[in-house]
Amino acid sequence: MTFSLPEGLPAGRFVPDGSPVMWRSDEPPHDPLASWTRYQRQQGETGLLPILCYADDDRPGSLDLAEIDAVDLESELEEGWRAYRRRQLAWLAAPPEPMDCPEDVEPWEDDPGAPYDQWPGPAPATPASSRVDPDEAARSAFALLADEWPYELWDGRLGLVAARRSADIPAVIGWRAQAPLPLLCALLRSWEDRFGARVLAAVGSTLYVCVASPPRDERQANHVALEHLLTTADNIVNDPPTPFPRYAASLVGAPLWRFWWD
């Protein structure tokens, strides 16, 4: 696979050598927001989607997109929910003894879990009449990310990926984490279709995703938060053990979703 690069790129190279999956800058971009935005605006012409990534793997092993195509998303999510529900019921039946904490340390809050007795199915798509342009929303979300610029992004390189759609970027670049990659990419595709999701960064074991149409109320947020939980991301399931209602509430109106796997 070869592709033509846009003009004005900083020093960088194709990765991996001889069989390029993406082009990647040698150093972190001087102005990540300007760089990412510039090439994101050109993606319709170039066919190259921008991403922030690390420079720690020169020979990524792309996931065959057929593995994503083969995922029966709703069946796998339902199976994941049933396993989660069994753990939830077991915990409710025999909760662990409270731990002794120092006086200046607050104990972890109990987690009532997702408020569903039966599998609710995937969260409904945002109505077409109220959707926002996903690429415009991605630029706004990246600007919010640039204002905070979390530490894990400090060493992020600019990557340009020849992917058909944003949801496929982690698979195409062979992003390596403990995430269930075929299921995750299938879910990203579904979020792309339902909520206008775009992948902004895949750095280390952390994935940043923006959404053009985030949950608008508690009911929708609960539904979407359940799908987040079923990704098995560690920031949702165990670090910290945030009670499900509080995590779901944090998604209302939130244009940026962050996931990480240990």
Residue 10: CB atoms within 10 A of its CB come to: 13
Convert the pLDDT of each residue in 142-179 to its tens digit.
999 999 999 889 999 999 999 999 999 999 998 878 89
Q: Write down the mean pLDDT value for the chain.
A: 89
Match 């926002």 to its residue by tokens.
132
Convert the pLDDT of each residue in 196-244 to its tens digit.
999 999 999 999 999 999 999 999 999 999 999 999 999 887 655 688 9
How long, in residues, is the chain?
Answer: 262
Query: How far apart are the C-alpha atoms of 147 and 120, rounded to whole Å?
Result: 36
Kindly report the pTM of this predicted structure. Answer: 0.91
Query: How far apart are the C-alpha atoms of 173 and 243, rounded to whole Å?
Result: 33
DSSP-derived 3-state class of residue 158: strand
**For residue 240, is the peptide bond before it cis, meaning its omega torsion is within 30 degrees of 0?**
yes
Is the distance from CB of 48 to CB of 21 less than 8 angstroms? no
Query: How far apart are the C-alpha atoms of 28 and 54, rounded to whole Å?
Result: 9
How open is the CA angle 18-205-116, to the nearest 5 degrees?
130
The beta strands (E) that lie in the chain are given as 12-15, 22-25, 49-53, 157-161, 197-203, 206-211, 256-260
As a whole number, mean pLDDT of residues 69-90 equals 94
As a whole number, mean pLDDT of residues 64-89 equals 95
58 exposure class (CB count in 10 Å sphere: 0-12, 13-18, 19+): exposed
Query: How far apart are the C-alpha atoms of 150 and 144, rounded to whole Å?
Result: 11
27's tokens: 């150093």
Convert the pLDDT of each residue in 22-62 to its tens digit.
999 999 999 999 999 999 999 999 999 999 998 765 555 78
